[in-house]
Structures are given as structure tokens and as C-alpha cells.
A and B are shown apart, each in its own frame.
Chain A
């Protein structure tokens, strides 16, 4: 046991800041000075980052292997039963290499986005306590996210899981006076709830299966150790269900967890909330809906890698869901005209990539892409935020164009982000995407997965270059009088962009694939993979020779280059062509612009019937009629009628009648006692 108290302070620093802000807004009802708010919030998160580095330093002193892990048990959170029926969940944290990678990404990107937010929220005067409220939620989010990734048991992880969902809801609907924003926040929360429900069922199933096998444990390490006991366990289900009458517990639990991940990480069919989540302030989109929270699902799948490695069916589901989501979202992104919507669908698509890798067994590849994606997608979102602020809250790329001359710094960092996500050789996205492509060939039916992933890479390059061209290149489409008002954002916002741009280029070196390491004669170059190795269950990988791998990398680059060139040619050289193509393929174009009508289909099939049943039956009949009418008011009405028509005559006013009842009562008691 390697105990340390550092871990709890990583988590509690942001919580303390959030509590301070909450007390100031909620109890004192006066917002604090903006400088104090900024220093406190950013300081807490930067402090968390520093402590994370300290924890990393402690961790690497422990020799490589399964014991390379730090613990911090704060207190017993839930405890019930004894010995063989004991259920306990500690409020305890553990730091293993996987958590380390996550907290470093979360606190580092989080700190940068906190700093950026100071500038972004500066001119927001819609609500007098808005500035402090924003940082309160942001700090609370950091706390929840750190609980999620540092939790040493699945119950505490679920607490963080719900916490980030709550903060996501609060921040999407941050400007709640606009009904649409409030609606988007609710949508995110409700869609997430579907996934969370499945996740919860999965936790219960896993625990009951473990308890039946004689080891009622909740911590990840104990579950992994006791896992062999439930490998063969089954659940009895009705025989008419597919694969009935007995389902393997492992598969069911893995699928339940994955449904939870689908909600949180915006995968088919629960991805619909993420594009609408763009209603929140842009730093929120960058922090929660690109870099950290939405990757929680990927983290969870990797955390349970031992479970997924033992569940081939669930793994195939993960891989195929990821692949299809990646492709579908990429096609939608092509036709979007809102700068943040393009990035949102891009995020859905990239998350699909991560699940594709995780489903094929490439857990460390998934985490690698998670890390690089956190950098370049945060960069792209913050860059788009800088554009939006420069354009005074204009988000439609059809009304931008030619901004390169007016905001060159923003354009440069944005271009770096575009190149990174498109997989330009040498940039971080190139290495992580290549890893995923290699893993995509591993799964059964992998050739199709590989083709899907490759096609998505081409589409990604296309829509990102399209976004860049429409925003920054070509002719100027801003209204002439608005032109003078376009200005570069302040340095408090630009510096985080520079730092993220640096990491968007170079973070690929953390997981430098051995393929390139061999060429540069670097031994053991994949340091991220080696670091994560002891935590993640290794899945056997068919060996690919270097020529094949190089060929695959070359193909990926060629496809991406094709997409990028096409986008450049269409939107810069021949800007009249896209409209003619759209007119020629009207049906297909409309389908993409309207996102395959998925929202409309869900609305018609699920939302409307649900609302109708809730309103007509549950509200009018069950609640208003039965609960309120018959039970609550009915009881009162019955008692009143009984009293008015009968009981009141007992109060006759004759003292001796009362005496008689008293004696009768006493006699009854005596009779009962001496019976």
C-alpha cells in the first residue's frame, strides 16, 4: 500500500473554490470581485495540476508493474452488512498510470481553459452574478471529473459520473434566460440519464454476480482480482429472447456499461445531445464537450479493459458502434454551417474513433487518441471561441470568410488544430489516428472497420479544411460596417491557445509508435503505451510488418490529403461550386443539413408519445386524478364528511356523557388486562 494524502487535495482544491463561490452567490447573495474569482478558480485548478505532477513524481518512483499505484482512503462512504454479505464503498482515490494520464490531461487542459474563460466571460454582463456563477460551475465540474477518474471503486466513479452530468447541464443552460439554452441543457441531462440508468444496472449486475461468487467487492483492483470467479456466470432470461435462455454476465455487464458510455460520450444512438450542448459558452464546449467529460466513457471502457477483453460480443458492439458513429457524424459535419456545430460533430466522430480502438482491444491507442484529441479539440474550440468573440457572437461560417487578414494569430493556431485533427504527418493526430487504424484491422470483420475508419479520416480532413477555408480564407462576407469591429482577442485568451497549439503538434511524441521509433533508432518509443501497459489488459495483436504499417500510414495520409485538397479546391478556388453541387444533389444535401432527421425521428417516435402519455395519462389521470384527487384530497374529504355527519355528535356538551365514556374506556382496559 502506497498511501498518500496528495490525491485528496487534487480533488478537493477545486471543490473548495466551488464551495466558496457557491456560498458567495447563494448565501451572501453578492458576487465577489472578479479578480478574486479569477485568481481563486484558476489558482485551485492550477494547484490541482501541480499536485498531479507531484503525484506523478511519486508514482514513477515505484517500480513498473501491477503494484505501481497510489492510494488515498478518505473515509468509508457507504458501508452495510458484514463479511460475506458486506457491501462497502470507500470515499477513496487511487492513482495508477491510467488515472495519471487522465488527471494530467484534465487538470492541464482545464487550467488553460479556466484562464481562457477569464477573457471570454469578461464582457458578459447579462446577469450580475454570471461571472462567479460560471466559475463556480466550472470548479465543481473539475471536482466531479477528478472524482470520476481518481475513484478507486465503481460506486464513487458513478458519483463523479453523475456530477459531471449535472455540471454539464448547468453550464449548457448557463444563459438560461434564453429558453432554447435551457431546453438544450435539459436535453443533454435527459439523454444522459438513459445511459446512466444502464450504467447503474450494470453496476448492480456486476456486484450481485461478484457477491454470488463469494467476493462482494467494489474497487477496481478487487474486481479485477475476483473477476475469474464470474467469467463463466450466466443470467437466466426468458427463452424467447435472442441468445436465451442464459446470457453470460460478463457480456451483459459490458454492454450495460457501454450504453452508459454511449450517453456520456455521445455515441449512437444517444449522441443527439452533444451538438445541442453547443448552446453553452464556448469554454464549456472546449472543456466539457470536447476535452474531458465526453471522454469519460472511453476512460471507463479502458478502466474495465479486463471485462471487455473477456467479452468479445460486447467489444465488437463497442467497435462497430464507434466506427458507425465516427462515419455518421463526419458526414453530418460536412454540411453544417455553424462553426461550433461542425466541431461538435467532429467531436462525436473522434469519440467514435476512440471507441473503435477500444472495442478492437487497443485500449492504450484509445487513451492516446483521447489525449491528443483533448489538446487539438480544445484548441479548435477555444479558437472558434476567439473567432466568435472577434465577430461579436456571430457563429455562422457563411457570414465569415477572409478573417485571416484581421485575426492572423487566431488563424494560425486554428490551422495547427486543423492539421492535427486531419492527421498531417508529424502532428499529434497523425500518430494517434495511425495507431487506431492499425488496431481497426485486428477485430473480426476488421477490414470493414478499417475502411470505415479510413473513410472517416478523409471526411475529417475535408470538413475541417472546409471549416478553416470558409472562416479564414476566401473573400470577405462580413457586412461592411461590421468589418472595423472585428478584432483579435486579448492575450489572456491567446496564450492558452499557443500552449494548446504546442501540445497539438508535439503531444504525439508521448505515444510515438514503435514503427517510427525503429526508424529513428529509438528503443521502446511508445512511452505512453508502456506506461499504461500494466493497467490495461493486453489483447493479442496480429503482427504487422513494417511495410504494411507504413503502407497503412501512407494510405491514411493520402486519403486525408485528398479530402483536404478537395475542400480547399471547392471552397477557395471555386467557391461557386459547392452551391451547385448542393443544388444538384438536393436530396442528399438536405439530408445532411438536417442531420439525417434523427432529431425529428426521435421527436416523433419517443419524445412526443412520451410527452403525450405523461401529460394525458400520468399527469391528468394518475397524478391529478388518483394521487392528488383520490388519495390526498380524498382522504381529507372523507375525514371531513365522517366528522360532519357523525363524529361531531359525540361532543354533546353534557359532562356526564363524557364521564360515561371515560368509565367505559377504563373498564375496557381493565377487562383487557384481566382477561
Chain B
């Protein structure tokens, strides 16, 4: 069995990659993908912990797994909105570069 440390470690690495992507990449689509990466890193952690505390045979614990389904649902909705914004932005600006949208400031 893969020890929990490995699962958490992978999750953390994925999450940091996601954070770095959001903070550093200029392309909005890549930023959205990085957000997905962060969400999935969390999902991994959820299932990993669920495996650590599976409950008994009579009363199995499914909290972590259910949460993963929740997160996937939310992520799907979020991507739909995010891609909508990307398309709208592309139509208006001919660009999906984040540096081109900085009008809302002092």
C-alpha cells in the first residue's frame, strides 16, 4: 500500500505547481488550468485521508469521497464561467493575456 505521506506529498507538489501557474503565467487559459490543478491536488488529499480513516464495515466513512464529487461539480461550473469570460475577453480584446486587462485601477 502506498503510504499516506506519498499521497500528501504529491498533492502538495501539484498544489504548488497550480499556485505558481496562477501567479506567474500570463495566459488566462493556462491560469484556469492551474486552478483546476489546485482543485485536483485537494481532491487527492481528500481521498488519501479517506483511505486513512475508512470507518468500520458496518459504518463506512465516505466523507472524503463525497467531498471529491462536490469539488468536481464546483470545478466544472467554475470552468464553464471562466471559459465564458475568456471567450468574451477574446472577442473584445483579441487577446487572452492578463496584462492586457488592467483598466480597473486607480
Q: Mark B6-35, 1 if CB is under 8 A from A, else 0.
A: 000000000000010011101000000000
| Interface 9-mer from A9-17, A348-356, A381-389, A655-663 | A655-663
Interface flags for A624-660 (1: CB within 8 Å of B; 0: not) read 0000000000000000000000001101111110011
B106 lies within 8 A of A659 (CB): no
Q: Which residues of B contact A656 (CB under 8 A)?
A: 22-24, 26, 98
A653–B23 contact, CB under 8 A?
Answer: no
Determine which residue in A648, A651, A659 has the highest number of CB atoms from chain B within 10 A of its CB, and name it: A659
Chain A residue at minimum C-beta to C-beta distance from B20: A663
Do B103 and A653 touch (CB < 8 A)? yes
Among B19, B22, B98, the residue within 8 A (CB) of A654 is: B98
Q: What is the bound-complex CA distance between A663 and B102, given in angstroms? A: 20
CB contacts (< 8 Å) of B22 on chain A: these are: 656, 659
The closest CB in chain A to the CB of B28 belongs to A655
Please tell me if the beta carbons of B98 and A653 are within 8 angstroms of each other in the complex: no
Contact indicator B19/A648 (Cβ below 8 Å): no
- Which residues of B have CB within 8 Å of A648? 106
Contacts of A655 in B (CB 8 A): 98, 101-102
Q: Is the interface of A mostly helix, strand, loop or mixed?
A: helix
> Is B105 engaged at the interface, CB distance under 8 Å to the other chain?
yes
Q: Which residues of B contact A663 (CB under 8 A)?
A: 19, 23
Query: CB-CB contacts of B81-106 with A at 8 A, as 1s and 0s?
Result: 00000000000000000110111111
Give Cα A654–Cα B23 distance, bound, in whole angstroms. 11
Contact B102 A659 (CB under 8 A): no
A654 pairs with B99, CB closer than 8 A: yes
Task: Tell me the bound Cα distance from A663 to B15 in angstroms.
Answer: 12
Cβ contact within 8 Å between A659 and B23: yes
Separation of A655 and B22 alpha carbons in the complex (Å): 10
- Give the number of residues in A that approach B within 8 Å (Cβ atoms): 11
Task: Check B101 against A651 for contact (C-beta < 8 Å).
Answer: no
CA of A659 to CA of B24 in the docked complex: distance in angstroms? 10
Given the interface pairs A654-B98, A654-B99, A655-B101, the reply to whether A660 lies near B106 with Cβ below 8 Å is no
Contact A653 B104 (CB under 8 A): yes
User: Complex: how many Å from CA A653 to CA B99?
Assistant: 9
Interface residues of A in 546-605 (CB under 8 A from B): none
Provide the bound-state CA to CA distance between A659 and B32, in Å. 13
Instruction: Write out the residue numbers on chain B whose beta carbons fall within 8 Å of the beta carbon of A660.
Output: 23
Closest to B103 in A: A653
Min CB gap B35→A, angstroms: 10
**A652–B106 Cα gap in the complex (Å)?**
7
Docked-complex contact A652 and B105, CB < 8 angstroms: yes
Q: Which residues of A contact B23 (CB under 8 A)?
A: 656, 659-660, 663
| Distance of A659 Cα from B99 Cα, bound (Å) | 13
- A652→B103 CA distance, assembly (Å): 9
A652 and B23 CA atoms in complex are apart in Å by 15
Alpha-carbon separation in the docked complex, A651 to B103 (Å): 11
In the complex, which residues of chain B have a beta carbon less than 8 angstroms from the beta carbon of A654? Answer: 98-99, 102
User: How many angstroms from the CA of A406 to the CA of B8 in the assembled complex?
Assistant: 113
Please name all residues of chain B whose beta carbon is closer than 8 Å to the beta carbon of A653 when the two chains form the complex: 102-105
B residues within 8 A CB of A659? 22-23
Min CB gap A417→B, angstroms: 83
- Docked Cα-Cα span, A660 to B105, in Å, equals 16
Complex Cα spacing A663 to B99, Å: 19
CB closest chain-A residue, reference B104 = A653
Mark each residue of chain A from 217 to 234: 1 if its CB lies under 8 Å from any CB of chain B, else 0. 000000000000000000
Q: From residue A660, how far is it (CB to closest CB) to chain B in Å? A: 6
A652's partner among B24, B26, B101, B102 (CB-CB below 8 A) is B102
Q: A659 CA to B106 CA in the complex, in Å?
A: 18
Interface centre among A651, A652, A653, A663 (most CB of B within 10 A): A653
In contact, A651 and B98 (Cβ under 8 angstroms): no
A649-B105 Cα distance, complex, nearest whole Å: 8
B33 to chain A, nearest CB (A): 15
The answer for the CA separation of A649 and B106 in the assembled complex, in Å, is 7
Which residues of chain B from 45 to 93 have any CB-CB distance to chain A below 8 Å in the complex? Answer: none
Closest-CB distance, B34 to chain A (whole angstroms)? 10
A654 to B99 alpha-carbon distance, docked (Å): 7
A127 to B63, CA, bound (A): 77
**Residue numbers in A under 8 Å from B105 (CB-CB):** 651-653
Return chain A residues, CB-CB under 8 Å to B106: 648-649, 651-652
Residues of A within 8 A of B104 (CB): 653
Identify the closest chain A residue to B25 (Cβ): A656
Nearest residue (CB) in B for A655 is B98
CA distance in complex: A653, B101 (Å)? 8
The docked-state distance in angstroms from the alpha carbon of A617 to that of B7 is 74
In the bound complex, how far is the Cα of B104 from the Cα of A649, in angstroms? 12
For the complex, give the distance between the alpha carbons of A648 and B98 in Å. Answer: 21
* A674–B26 CA distance with the chains assembled, in angstroms: 32
CA distance A236 to B34 in the complex (A): 77
Shortest CB-to-CB span from A340 to chain B, Å, is: 72
**CA distance in complex: A654, B102 (Å):** 5
A458 to nearest B CB, angstroms? Answer: 88
Query: What 0/1 readout, one digit per residue, does chain A (495-524) give for beta carbons within 8 Å of chain B?
Result: 000000000000000000000000000000
Query: Residue on A with the closest CB to B99?
Result: A654
Q: How far is the CB of A661 from chain B (nearest CB, A)?
A: 10
C-alpha gap A663/B20 in the complex (Å): 10
Residues of B within 8 A of A (CB): 19, 22-24, 26, 98-99, 101-106
Known: A655-B102, A659-B23. 19 other contacts (CB 8 A): A648-B106, A649-B106, A651-B105, A651-B106, A652-B102, A652-B105, A652-B106, A653-B102, A653-B103, A653-B105, A654-B98, A654-B99, A654-B102, A655-B98, A656-B22, A656-B23, A656-B26, A656-B98, A663-B19
Q: What are 19 A-B contacts defined by CB distance under 8 Å?
A: A648-B106, A651-B105, A651-B106, A652-B102, A652-B105, A653-B102, A653-B103, A653-B104, A653-B105, A654-B98, A655-B98, A655-B102, A656-B23, A656-B24, A656-B26, A656-B98, A659-B23, A660-B23, A663-B19
Top 9 A-B residue pairs of the complex, sorted by shortest distance between their CB atoms: A653-B105, A653-B102, A648-B106, A654-B102, A651-B106, A651-B105, A659-B23, A653-B104, A660-B23
